[in-house]
Amino acid sequence: MRVTVKPRSSKPSSRFPLSLDLAGSQPTVGSLKSAIANKAKVNVHRQRITTSDKKVLDDDDRSLADYGVRDGDSLDFKDLGPQVAWKTVFLTEYFGPLFIHPAFFFGSKLFYRQQFQHSRMQQVALVLVLLHYAKRELETLFVHRFSSATMPILNLFKNSGHYWGLSGVLLAVPLYGPWNGAAKLAGTVQDGNAWLYGWTALWVYAELSNLVTHLNLASLRPKGTKARAIPTGYGFDSVSCANYWFESVAWLAYTGLTLNWAAAFFSAVAIGQMYIWALKKHRRYRKEFGDKYPRGRKAMFPYLA
């Protein structure tokens, strides 16, 4: 099969357009990307190739014929720029809160200019946020399956800004200050066992449920593949993105525990972003699986939306 690969950009290029002769009766997307990499010296992870009718060639294992590409066709090429591994991005962004929260908790004299005894609420809040991000780090290393090996390197700074800034500094600064210390909360509802244990129990339930859904999703995609299947089982009978739903419950429990405006703000931002992602995944599931996809499922919030 012979195809022509031309740049989407109108800027002159010394490397494009390319005329490529692909070997085999059914050349794959992967073989096309390798041919472009060999001839134009563009790493396969930086390549975004689309057909004339805007179909993205996003599965390296599928044949070009599966996308309707025929001998003599022209394809559009875009260089996605420098890339970084998904795992690197996740590990970096989650490290921020793991460092920032203990820094403000144990460095109270440095940051708040006074020494004070932390309340039980502050102690519990610190433990929960550290467990949350430690869990995320471990899931990144041992559980998650990524459909793409890399993402644009700018995402490393954007994502880290979200977690280091909002969930790190913005959440930690007002949470661990003397206004939430033992002297201020003594005798209040936030210092009572029922309050601390109740919200912590809800948080533990949500985090464990979130872990179960992540393990479930990982089981649907064999390692090293991009296979997709309809998620079923715990949580997924009600919503398409049960992992997002349970994480939302965890952050709402954290907000209830702390009664902190920064926790409420971060929860609102995080839940809003997850809902946007959930809607996209929900629509993709419906488009990909058609009538096979359960009609009664909502995107993220059970029985609602």
| pTM (2 d.p.) | 0.88
What is the Cα gyration radius of the chain?
A: 24
Q: CA quadruple 77, 80, 82, 87: dihedral positive or negative?
A: negative
Pairing of strands 74-79, 47-50: antiparallel
Which one, of 23, 19, 45, 21, lies nearest residue 33 by Cα? 45
Pairing of strands 2-7, 18-21: antiparallel
Q: Fill in the DSSP letter of residue 15.
A: S
Helix residue spans in the chain (DSSP H): 29-40, 86-106, 108-112, 120-142, 154-160, 171-175, 182-185, 193-219, 242-258, 261-289
| Whole-number pLDDT of residue 149 | 80
Q: Fill in the DSSP letter of residue 26.
A: S
Q: CA quadruple 277, 280, 284, 290: dihedral positive or negative?
A: positive
User: What is the Cα–Cα distance from 254 to 249, expressed in whole angstroms?
Assistant: 9
Domain residue ranges of the chain, discontinuous segments joined by +: 2-81, 84-292
Neighbours of 124 (CB within 10 A): 20
| Whole-number pLDDT of residue 54 | 87
Q: Does domain 2-81 bear CATH number 3.10.20.90?
A: yes
Residuewise pLDDT in 10s, the chain (305 residues)? 899 999 887 776 788 889 999 988 889 999 999 999 999 999 999 999 999 888 899 888 889 999 999 999 999 999 898 999 999 999 999 999 999 999 999 999 999 999 999 999 999 999 999 999 999 999 999 999 887 788 889 889 988 999 999 999 999 999 999 999 999 999 999 999 999 999 999 999 999 999 999 999 999 987 767 778 999 999 999 999 999 999 999 999 999 999 999 999 999 999 999 999 999 999 999 999 999 999 999 999 999 99
